[in-house]
Amino acid sequence: MAARTIKTSPIAGMKPGTSGLRKKVAEFAGPHYLANFVQSVFDAVRPVAGFGGCTLVLGGDGRYYNLQAAQLVIQMAAAQGFARVMVGQGGILSTPAASCVIRRHQTFGGLILSASHNEGGVNGDFGIKFNGANGGPAAENVTDAIYARTLTLTEYKVCDSPDIDLDRLGVQQADGMVVEVFDPVADYLELMRSLFDFDALRALFRSGFRLAFDAMHAVTGPYARAIFEGELGAPAGTVRNGTPLPDFGAHHPDPNLVHAKALYDLMMSPQAPDLGAASDGDGDRNLIVGRGLFVSPSDSLALLAANAHLVPAYRSGIVGVARSMPTSGAADRVAQALGVPCFETPTGWKYFGNLLDAGRVTLCGEESAGTGSDHVREKDGIWAVLMWLNILAVRGTSVQAVVQQHWATYGRNYYTRHDYEAIDSDAAKALMADLAGRLGGLKGQALAGQAVTLADDFSYTDPVDGSVSSHQGLRIGFADGSRIVYRLSGTGTSGATLRVYIERYEADPARHALDTQQALAELIAAAGQLARIGHHTGRQRPDVVT
C-alpha cells in the first residue's frame, strides 16, 4: 500500500500558543485541518536522514476527537516512514507520562493530543503539541518553524491502512510501520516507584490518612487509581471522577477553586479528609488543599523546594529552582536560604527545558498549578501529590501545620490571579498597548501608597542557549517586593483572556492568617485603575479568581 499525497493549502491561525495548538473541535475536525498541522510538525522536525529508525510516542487526554486524531496521526506517521509509533492503550497518555515514555524508550519525540485544562466535548476544544527527544515541549524556535511551515504547506501524506485497534495491547502494523499499543500507566508508575518512599506512603494510608483525589473525568483517573488505590492501598473511592470521558462529564477540567469546587467545599467542611488534590485534563497540573486551607501553587512550589530533601529522589538536595515570571517570589526565598539559584522564566513549561537539561535546576513551577522536577520534562500533577504525601508522611503532621511553619520561617507571599475571560481581542491588545506605553513614566511614581521600583515588559534571555523571548508580560514592582503583572493568555480559544497577577510579601507572623483578597485589596484596586481594565474591557470584575 503506498502513501497517498493529498493536495491542500495553508490554513491561517495555526500558531502554537503557550502549550501547543488549541482550537474548537469544529475547527480541528474541519477539512485538512489536523493533517495540515501534523504534516507541518513532521516537516519542521524531520531529521536529515528522514524518519526511518525513529519512534513516535502518541496519546492524549481522552477528550472528544482524541481517537479519530490518533488514527490519523498513525496513518500520517506511516506515510512519513517512521519505524514505529508507540500509542497509549485507548489513545490515553497523560502529558507527564508521555514525557516519561519518550525519555525511557529513547524515542524521537511525541505528539500529545490535548487542550489540557480547556473544556472538552463536541463543542469544546481540542489540541495537539509536539515534544522532542528530551521529553519536553518543543522550544520556541521549533514552534516558530512549525508555524512557518503551516503557511507554505501545499500537500500532506497519509496511508490508507485499516484503523488500529487501540484497545488491544501489543504490536500491530500500519502499512509496514510497527504500531505498539502499550499500557499508559506502567512506565510512569515505575518511575514514581523510583522517586518516592512507597513503603512510607503505604504505612501512611494504613494509619488512616485520608486523601480525596479528583481526576475531573480526565486523564489522571487510571494513573491515580493504579497508584493511590492500587499500589499505596488508599481505600476505594479515594479517586473521584476517575473515568476519562470525552466531555469530562460536562465540566471544565481545570483544577482551580471554581472548577474543582466540589473538592474545595469538601476540604472546607467538617468531613474534610487530610489532603485534597486534583489534576487537569492532561494530568500536568495539581491542586493541593489541606483541611480548611487552600495551598497556592506558588506556595506549593516553595514548600516542595524547602522539603524536597525528605523525599528519596531529592535526598541530596536540589541544585536550583525555576519559576515562571508571574509565579510569586516565595520560591526565591527558599532558594536563597538553600544557597541555590532561582531562575525567572516566561510562562509555559517549554522555557524550563534548557535549565533542566543543563542540570541547573531540579524543581520548576508555575502559579497556574504546575509543578515538576527533573524526573521528566513536563509539569506533573500526580508527582506533586506524591511529593506532598511523602513530605507529610515523613513530617507526620498536617498540611496546615506544614504551611504555617513555612510562613513563620520564610514569611508569606500573599498571591492572587484575576482572569478576565473571553474579552474582545482588540480591546485586550489596546489595554496592553496603552499600559506598555505608560510604563516608562511609572518608575518612582507612587501607586497603592508605595513607590514603583520596576516597570517593564518582561524579556527573557535563556541562560543556556542565549535565545531571547520578549513581550512576556508587563511587570510593575514595588519597594517592598509587591508586584502586579499583566499578560494575555496563550491557551484560550475564544477572544482574549487577560490575566492579572498580584502579590505582596508579609513578614509578620501575626498577619499570616488574613483573607488573601483582603490582604491584597489595595494592590487589586490599583491594578484595575492602572491598566484601566473597566474602560478597555467593560468588565467590572474578573471571571475567575484564584
Question: Catalytic residue positions?
Answer: 116
Q: Rg of the chain over CA atoms, in angstroms? A: 23
User: Should residue 61 be labelled a site residue for ligand VG1 when binding is judged by CB under 6 A?
Assistant: no
Q: For residue 440, how far is the Cα from the chain centroid?
A: 33
Per CB under 5 A, which of residues 251..280 are in contact with Co ion? 280
SS3 call for 222: helix
Task: Please state, in angstroms and rounded to a whole number, the distance separating the CA atoms of residues 40 and 151.
Answer: 9
Return the residue nearest ligand VG1 (CB atom). 116
Binder to ligand VG1 among 285, 291, 323, 406 (CB under 6 A)?
285
- Write each residue from 265 to 284 as x if it is in contact with ligand VG1 (CB under 6 A), else as -, in one continuous string: ---------------x---x
Distant-in-sequence, close-in-space partners of 203: CB < 8 Å, separation ≥ 6? 393
Rounded alpha-carbon distances, angstroms, from residue 385 to 85, 224, 227: 30, 10, 11
Residue 537 interacts, among Co ion, ligand VG1, none and using kind-specific CB cut-offs from 5 to 8 Å, with none
Q: Taking the CB of residue 399, how many other CB atoms lie within 10 A of it?
A: 23
Closest distance to ligand VG1 from the beta carbon of 362 (Å):
19
Task: Please state, in angstroms and rounded to a whole number, the distance separating the CA atoms of residues 237 and 220.
Answer: 14
Closest distance to Co ion from the beta carbon of 207 (Å):
32
Is the alpha carbon torsion for 222, 228, 234, 240 positive or negative? negative
User: Should residue 172 be labelled a site residue for ligand VG1 when binding is judged by CB under 6 A?
Assistant: no
- Write each residue from 290 to 329 as x if it is in contact with Co ion (CB under 5 A), else as -, in one continuous string: ----------------------------------------
- Write each residue from 19 to 48 as x if it is in contact with ligand VG1 (CB under 6 A), else as -, in one continuous string: x-----------------------------
SS3 call for 516: helix
User: Should residue 490 be labelled a site residue for ligand VG1 when binding is judged by CB under 6 A?
Assistant: yes
Q: How many residues bind ligand VG1 (CB under 6 A)?
A: 18
Is the alpha carbon torsion for 422, 282, 544, 383 positive or negative? negative
User: Should residue 117 be labelled a site residue for ligand VG1 when binding is judged by CB under 6 A?
Assistant: yes
Closest distance to ligand VG1 from the beta carbon of 342 (Å):
17
Q: Which segment (66-74, 142-150, 293-301, 366-374) binds ligand VG1 by CB under 6 A?
A: 366-374
Task: Please state, in angstroms and rounded to a whole number, the distance separating the CA atoms of residues 228 and 202.
Answer: 9
Closest distance to ligand VG1 from the beta carbon of 320 (Å):
19
β-strand pairing of 342-345 with 321-324:
parallel
313 neighbors 327 (Cβ within 8 angstroms): no
347 neighbors 167 (Cβ within 8 angstroms): no
Binder to ligand VG1 among 3, 18, 188, 432 (CB under 6 A)?
18
- Write each residue from 497 to 516 as x if it is in contact with ligand VG1 (CB under 6 A), else as -, in one continuous string: --x-----------------
Closest distance to ligand VG1 from the beta carbon of 519 (Å):
22
Binder to ligand VG1 among 16, 62, 370, 481 (CB under 6 A)?
370
User: Should residue 378 be labelled a site residue for Co ion when binding is judged by CB under 5 A?
Assistant: no
Would you call 87 exposed, middle or buried from its count of C-beta atoms within 10 A (0-12, 13-18, 19+)? buried
Q: Which segment (116-124, 165-173, 390-398, 474-482) binds Co ion by CB under 5 A?
A: 116-124
Task: Please state, in angstroms and rounded to a whole number, the distance separating the CA atoms of residues 264 and 276.
Answer: 8
User: Should residue 491 be labelled a site residue for ligand VG1 when binding is judged by CB under 6 A?
Assistant: yes
Closest distance to Co ion from the beta carbon of 23 (Å):
16
Bridge partner list, 321: 342, 363
Per CB under 6 A, which of residues 323..362 are in contact with ligand VG1? 324, 347-349
SS3 call for 237: coil
In the sheet that holds 275-278, the strands lie side by side as: 239-240, 211-214, 275-278, 287-290, 293-295
User: Should residue 368 be labelled a site residue for ligand VG1 when binding is judged by CB under 6 A?
Assistant: yes
User: Should residue 489 be labelled a site residue for ligand VG1 when binding is judged by CB under 6 A?
Assistant: yes
Closest distance to Co ion from the beta carbon of 381 (Å):
8
Q: What is the 3-state secondary structure (H, E, C) of 70-126?
A: HHHHHHHHHHHCCCEEEEEEEEECCHHHHHHHHHHCCCCEEEEECCCCCCCCCCCEE
Closest distance to ligand VG1 from the beta carbon of 204 (Å):
28
Binder to Co ion among 116, 300, 354, 497 (CB under 5 A)?
116
C-alpha cell at 412: 508569606
DSSP string, 369-395: TEEEETTSSS--HHHHHHHHHHHHHHH
Binder to Co ion among 125, 254, 274, 282 (CB under 5 A)?
282
SS3 call for 546: coil
Binding site for ligand VG1 (CB under 6 A): 18-19, 116-117, 280, 284-285, 324, 347-349, 366, 368, 370, 489-491, 499
